[in-house]
Chain A
Amino acid sequence: MTADGAVIESGEAQTTVRAAFDAIEAEIDRVAGDTGCDPAAAAGAFLGLGERVLEIWVEGRGDVPTRDQKEGFRLLALHRQGAKGEPSFNACRETCRELAYHYNLITLEPGHAETPQRVRVMGLVVRHLCLFVSGKMQVAGLGEFCCSSKPLRGDGK
């Protein structure tokens, strides 16, 4: 356990978390590479993968991932839950909001000329969320803001 309770410091737990993120990245690649995939289905898959990323973060902090929604999205509720007591997690708030925005764009206008580009961008946005959160998981307990570290500070203030 880290100072603030994240269960990721043991080699075994870290391997599990790493494996989970690797699986998510592989799934992002699979969906992004499936050119025949229905755009709305791809958007749904990316949104679900974003939720899974945040679930891992919340679980790593010893909480049970919420089933609530915020502004119609569980993703945003999960982000809010993940940022409680961890202001640095707000560094991915806009990334989550961009995911929700692209989901709406794609599913509300699936026939739009820019839909293929929107699907591609949504895949890159969810990958960014995955990379960012997996990086934070590796250094869990670090960061008063963004990636700057705090464990050297003693009382963390």
Chain B
Amino acid sequence: MVDVTNRAEKYRSVAYYGGCALEGSGNGYDVSTRAIAKELGLGLKEVTDWNCCGAMEVKNIDPKVQTYLSSRVLSNAVNLDKADVVMAPCNGCYHNLKKAEYDLSHDDKSVEVVDMLSKKAGHPTYKAGQAETIHALDWLKHTVGEDGIRARTKGKLDGLKVANYYGCMYVRPRHIFPEKDKGPGTESTSKPHFMDDLLDAAGAKSVDFALKTACCGGAHTLSDSDTSTKLVLNILEAAEASGAEVIATECPTCHSGLEMHQVRAEKKFGRKTKVKILYFTQLLGLALGIKPRKLGIHTNISDSIDFLVDKRIV
């Protein structure tokens, strides 16, 4: 069974599964995650020969193949990298690895299919409980924590009003996240707060954001762009109505959607919003004194440099 005690020590060195999005459109998330790991002295070892988690594309055709693909990532982490913790910053990857873990614990057919495909592919079959999958938020919350962030950042984000946007895959469906909703110190699936906690510790002021887990319309982006744009516009306007200057994100799909549809909303519907969009790792990196370029802020579509200069954050 996965040992969930002494997380502070256990999570200090983890297998890192960035996934496909962080190699492309979510590159700023990847470089900022690696940069703060280096700054904080945390170990990230990229999973050897990793593959796609199965995302939505494979899941839509055959969910058991998606379970297999995620299990292969876990198998490589366990058997090739000798890791017992896999950290996935992408909500999609995190969700799929957790779902694979759940399926392999509860569904004999999934176990059978994964074993058959693993043997065919020539690698050891991943068995439920061999590794623990965590999100970047779990990783930072349990290793450095609010006190550590507070001590290292000295209120660098002082007064920055942030709407923390978690998206849907970080908390749903609840049953694949058995460690959540366990009371004080654990994450909530209805009102997630780990990002709020970490950024507030760096001096930011997290606003009460009603749509923090609402759908960003990511899956509609290609099939029904207007619905995606309207959903995103609504999130952006709700953040602004809540007093936020910045939306902090922790999912590359949500992040790209917010950025692209912010531009599209202005072009298509003439609705301009000013709220900036940054990965929470970029904000924490700035709070730790890391240069914006090393955090990939220049690769964001949402241009926030002037704003950050005005706020004296850079």
Contact = CB atoms under 8 A, between A and B. Distances in A.
A135 B168 contact: no
Interface in B183-235: 190-191, 210-211, 213-215, 217-220, 223-224, 227, 230-231, 234-235
Contact of B213 (A94, A102, A134, A139): A94
A134 to B, nearest CB: 7
B195 to A, nearest CB: 16
Interface stretch (A4-12, A55-63, A74-82, A149-157): A149-157
A135 B227 contact: yes
A104 interface: no
A145 B60 CA distance: 10
Contact of B227 (A95, A97, A134, A152): A134
B238 A128 contact: yes
B211 A144 contact: no
A137 B217 CA distance: 14
Interface residues of B, number: 33
Contact of A152 (B61, B168, B230): B61
Interface residues of A, number: 34
B235 A117 contact: no
Contacts of B60: 148-150, 152-153
Contacts of B59: 144, 148
Interface string A74-111: 00000000000001001111110110011000000000
A145 B238 contact: no
B272 interface: no
Contact of B224 (A87, A135, A157): A135
Contacts of A87: 173
B307 to A, nearest CB: 22
B134 interface: no
A136 B35 CA distance: 39
Contact of A125 (B210, B220, B223): B210
Interface in B233-268: 234-235, 237-238, 241-243
Interface string A118-132: 001100110110011
A146 B215 contact: yes
B22 to A, nearest CB: 20
A124 B211 contact: yes
Contact of A94 (B190, B217, B218, B219): B190
Given A93-B190, A145-B172, A153-B61, 9 more contacts: A91-B168, A95-B211, A97-B190, A117-B241, A120-B241, A124-B211, A124-B238, A131-B227, A153-B62
Q: Which 4 A-B pairs have the closest CB atoms?
A: A147-B219, A124-B238, A148-B56, A98-B210
Interface of B: 56, 59-63, 168-169, 172-173, 190-191, 210-211, 213-215, 217-220, 223-224, 227, 230-231, 234-235, 237-238, 241-243
